[in-house]
Each structure stands twice: as structure tokens, then as C-alpha cells.
Amino acid sequence: MADDGIAVSGLTKLYNNVRAVDDLSFTVSPGRVTGFLGPNGAGKTTTLRMVLNLVRPTAGTATIGGRRYAELADPVRKVGALLEASGAHRGRTGRNHLRMLCDAAGIPVGRADDVLDTVGLASAADRKFKGYSLGMRQRLGIAAALLGDPDVLILDEPANGLDPEGIRWMRELLRSLAEQGRTVLVSSHLLSEMELLADDVVIIAAGKLVQQGPVAQVIASTGGAQLLVRTPRPEALLAELGAAVTATPVEGGALRIVGADGPTVGAAALRAGAEIHELTVERRDLENVFLQLTAGKADIL
Amino acid sequence: MTATLQAPPAADRPVIAHVGVPGLRLVRSEIRKITTTNAWWLFGLASLVFTGLALAINMAEASGHIDRARDTAAVFKPGRGMGAAEIAAARAEFAQLHDLHLQAVNAAGNIFTSGQFFGLLLVMLLGALVITNEFQYQTATATFLTTPRRTRVVFGKLFAVLGLGLVFWLVARAVSFAAGLLFFHDMGLTNSLSEWPVQRALIFNLVAYLLWALLGFGLGTLIHSQIGAVVTAMVIYLGGFVGGIGVFNLIRTYLIHGDWVLTSAVVMPPIASQVMVSPERLYPQAAPWWVGVLVMAGWSLVAGAVGILLNRRRDIA
């Protein structure tokens, strides 16, 4: 299945001399869900559109299973993509939207009803697109992505407009697709959702790669544990801990310490004779890490 | 014994057959795009209404001409103070107006091609919509994801547009055919369908439908904005019919004194179209009919080719 990975290399896009995507390289592995994260305006959508041959890169390449998208023999059966929820004609029914895609891809039109079933839109198949809610439009887009039963899925903000039940449905769908060995690349700004869903993350900001790797590894890479410490003698404790840690005061006179674990801080406090009133190991989640990694790099927040 | 964590069994992946002939798949997809929205039947209805109106007008006119031609009591009388040449011209015109055969053939040519003026405008606009709809409704993303080789999409649309032009022609002609046969039966005249001028009018009527559909399509390929393409198409069509030759007459009178200026008016699609469908020269300096065909095809080709080149490089965002 190594055939189905996505490889982005040196990808760059200039819009009026603004580097929307700047020498971006990363890889996406099959059999895993990869979250593609970045602040608004980081270049996520532009990157995905370059991977899919919709936007021409200024420089660099993007391949799927070793081939550029435009060179794929049967793109619909290889790659399914969801890019924008509003991509259908207002006056066309959901079923006809899918059928016209079936025609072009050489897929039997009956497949349209199969995927409408999969995404739970069967009852709205004959309704016109203009009557669809945002969530229904999103489901139709996912149905279109699934038409060719592709090995690779590329989804831009698929959770947009979905209700909590829909988000959960989406999570289970993407997980099961990845478990079947498919490559799943999904961009999102819902970080808590990503932490539940993704195996790997690629984090970009201002068009550049910030961090890539398995979720746990990316979280660990930003400095291990994070502790909340309350003591009447913070200066003495910090002097004992030395320069290896960073400490920031938080409300109520406590300190947030990064770079040392609980036992180290406890031992240092004992040596410094600093009384400990509270010592809490804080869970660092993807959101903390993301905000730390992308701080000050967002064009728009 | 160690417990192993088992991955859930992979669900059976569906077997999806490959259907359709590769080249025709895209045409089929484009035809489905056209037939699954309202534009085609709204335009078709408009085309029928205009064909009906034109039939009524053409029949009323034809009936007048035929009645005059049948008036055997009429005798040619030269007007007072006319020169010999003027008298000869007036006599020839009188003879034509009272030539029943000629009048019947002219009437057949008009009636059997009724509704051409608006019919051509409608197929041109529909041709432009076929491509600009993709950008207006952001379906270009889905279309180009399905077929990343964009030029293929354009050719798929091209054949669909030609098919559309053919269908519009067939329907308009079927209606005018039925009405025309009734009319000539009622007048007690032959329908003249065996006459070459009538056959020629019908053939070039079809060519005009196809070429105008193609030109609209070329414009749509070049100008992706739906409003922009539609307005441009209407200006070219209506402006050319209404004021086209006038502009060239002014140039001929005030700027460049040469008959070739009038001949070159054929570069304007509406003039080219008229030059093409006219059995005789549209005006004394008019270019021959085949120049009209070439000009129409040439404009479609140029607009389409430039459009395709731009389209290949265009970012779909």
C-alpha cells in the first residue's frame, strides 16, 4: 500500500508576490488519518488544490502514489476529494449531481445511490441542491468523494456545517477508511476533533511547515510535561530549578512550568525549602501545542 | 496466551464496473449536465414561442405576396417621367412580384426557416452557458477533479453543444415544417420542398444553428464570467445585425473609399451568418457564402483555442 502515499515537495505558490505557500514539503502515509492543520490563511486550501491540480504551483511538486494528479489514469477511483461545500448547481438534484460525475468517470450511475446511502442522503436524493442545508451539502460532497471507492481521500474542512452527530459520523467514517488501508488527509481547524481523529498531523503556518509527525510525538516535541505549581517562594524554587525550565506566572500567584517533570520540581522545592501548595501535571493537548507552535505566525486569527 | 488486539475486519470494498466509451463519457456527462437543470427547456420554450411568432408573421407576409402574384388582372404601367433604364428595372421587378413560382419558393424558404433570428441567439447563449455555468455554480472543481485533463472537458462540452444546436434546429424545423405544409396546402400551392433554394435555406439554417452554438461556446470558453459572456454574445449578435453594415458604410463613405471595405464587413459574425444563408448576394459587394462559413468557424475556433489555452493554466479556486 506504499503506493498510495502523498508526497509534497518544495511546493510554493505566489499570489501577487505574496507567498501563500512557501517551500512546503511533507508526506502522508496510507492506513492513517493525517490531520492538516494551520491558522486561517496558512495556505491549507491552496496546498490541497495544488495537490489536486486545480491550482498551478509556482514551484515544487505534489504526487499521489508517485504520480501527479493530472497523470493519474483513473483519478476518481484513485483519489476522492472534498473541497468546498457549495460546489454543485443550485437547480440540480443531489442524485443528478453525482450521476453526471459517474458519467464522466465511467462509473455505473447506480453507484450514485450507493454513496447517497452511505452518507445518509438517500431521502434527499431528488431534492435540488439549493434546498440542502450546509450539513447536507457537506454530505453530498463526501458522497462525491466516495464515488470511485478511492484509495486516497483528501478532504478540506469536512466537518464544516455538520452537527455533533454528523461530526461523529464523519470521524467514524474516516477512521474506518484509514483502517482499510486508505490514505486520509483531512484539513480542519477543530483541534479537539483532530486529536480524536488523526494519527499524524502536519501543521503549517504562513505557508510554511511548522511540524509534522504522529500526534503524540508532536505534542511531546514541544517540551514534554507542563506543570502548575503554587508556592509562596517562587524565586527560590526557580533558582533551584535553573535555566532548563521556562516558567510563566498564571493568575492566583501560581507558576506554569515547562521543561521539568513532577519529581524534579518536587525535589528542587525540597532542596530550596520552598513549601508546595499545589503541584498539578497539566495535560498538554493538541490545541495548546498548536497555539504554541503557530503563535505569531498567523496572518489572520 | 497473549491477547492480541485485532483490527476490525476490513469491509468489503465494492466492485465498480467500468462503463462507457472513454471519449463519449464526457459528452454523456455534459448532456446530463444540460438536461438536469432548467435552462434547456426554458430556452427551448422561448425558441418555440419565437418560432411560432415568426411563423405567423412570415405566413401573413407570404400570403400577401402570393395573392399579389396570383392577381392576373394587374398590368405593368410605367410611372410618369421615367427613363428607359428605370422602366426596365421596374418592369423586371413587376415580373418578379407576379411570378407565382418565384413567390412560392421565396415563401417556402422563409416559412420553413422561421424563427431563425431568435433561435440562433438562443443557441449561442446556451452554448455560452454550458461552459460559464461551471464557474457560476463552482462545479468546475468537481468537473476538473473528475477529469483533470481540462482540454478533454472542453471537447466533451463542444460535442454536447453541437448536439444541442442540432436538437434546437430539429425542433424548430419540425414545428415550421408542420405549419408550412398546412399553409401551402391551404393556399393550394406546392410546398416547394423539392426546390434547391428551399433545400439550401434549410441546410444553411442548420449550419447557422451549429456555428452560432459554437461561437457562443467559444465566447464562454474565453470569458468565464457568465454575465460577461452573455452580454458580449448579445452585443455581438444584436449589435452586428442592427448596426454592423451601417458602420462599414460610414467607413466606406468617410474614411476608406473602396468597395472591399463593404466586402470585409463579413468579418462580423452576424453579417457572415447572413452572407452564408442568403441564396443571392446579400448586397452587391458581399463576400461569397463560403467566406461566411469560414468567418463563423474561424471566430469560434479562435475564441475556443485562446479559451482552452487560458483554461489550462487557470487556477480553480
Q: What is the DSSP string of chain B?
A: ----PPPPPPPPPPP----S-HHHHHHHHHHHHHHTSSHHHHHHHHHHHHHHHHHHHHHHHHHHHHHHHH-TT----PPTT--HHHHHHHHHHHHHHT-HHHHHHHHHHHHHTTTHHHHHHHHHHHHHHHHHHHHHTT-HHHHHHH---HHHHHHHHHHHHHHHHHHHHHHHHHHHHHHHHHHHHHHT----TTSHHHHHHHHHHHHHHHHHHHHHHHHHHH---HHHHHHHHHIIIIIHHHHHHHHHHHIIIII---HHHHHGGGGSHHHHHHHHH-SS-SSTTPPPHHHHHHHHHHHHHHHHHHHHHHHHH----
Q: Are residues A51 and A129 in the same domain?
A: yes
Q: Are residues A262 and A171 in the same domain?
A: no
Confidence of residue B9 (pLDDT cuts 50, 70, 90): low
Mutate to test the interface with A, among B28, B33, B42, B146 (most CBs of A within 10 A): B146
Q: Is the pLDDT of residue A126 over 90?
A: yes
Whole-number Å distance between alpha carbons of A88 and A250 = 50
Instruction: Give the model's pLDDT for residue B1.
Output: 44
A-to-B residue pairs, Cβ atoms closer than 8 angstroms? 118
Q: Is the pLDDT of residue A115 over 90?
A: yes
Instruction: Give the model's pLDDT for residue B4.
Output: 52
* Min Cα separation B146/chain A (Å): 6
Q: Are residues A275 and A256 in the same domain?
A: yes
Q: Is the pLDDT of residue B6 over 70?
A: no
Instruction: Give the model's pLDDT for residue A301.
Output: 37
Mean pLDDT of chain A: 89
With an 8 Å Cβ cutoff, are A92 and B36 in contact? Answer: yes
Cβ proximity of A104 and B29 under 8 Å? yes
Residue A294 within a domain:
no
Instruction: Give the model's pLDDT for residue A192.
Output: 84
Instruction: Give the model's pLDDT for residue A1.
Output: 40
Q: Is the pLDDT of residue B78 over 80?
A: no
With an 8 Å Cβ cutoff, are B37 and A70 in contact? Answer: no
Give B27-40 pLDDT, tens digit per residue.
999 999 999 999 88
Of the partner residues B17, B18, B37, the one whose CB lies closest to the CB of residue A89: B37
Instruction: Give the model's pLDDT for residue B316.
Output: 87
Looking at the structure of chain A, the number of domains it has is 2
Note down the domain range covering A240: 223-283
Q: What number is the average pLDDT over the span A263-280?
A: 89
With an 8 Å Cβ cutoff, are A108 and B22 in contact? Answer: no
Q: What number is the average pLDDT over the span B123-135?
A: 93
Instruction: Give the model's pLDDT for residue A224.
Output: 63
CATH number (domain holding residue A245): 3.30.70
Least confident span in A231-240, A283-292, B25-34, B232-241: A283-292
Q: Is the pLDDT of residue B79 over 60?
A: yes
Percent of chain A with pLDDT over 70: 96
Q: What number is the average pLDDT over the span B276-283?
A: 77
Nearest chain A alpha carbon to B23: A104
Q: Are residues A17 and A142 in the same domain?
A: yes
Q: Are residues A138 and A188 in the same domain?
A: yes
Taking CB atoms and an 8 Å cutoff, what residues of chain B touch A86? 138
Q: Is the pLDDT of residue B173 over 70?
A: yes
Q: Are residues A163 and A239 in the same domain?
A: no
Q: Are residues A110 and A249 in the same domain?
A: no
Taking CB atoms and an 8 Å cutoff, what residues of chain A touch B33? 89, 92, 100
What is the model's pTM? 0.84
Q: Is the pLDDT of residue A191 over 90?
A: no
Taking CB atoms and an 8 Å cutoff, what residues of chain A touch B10? 179-181
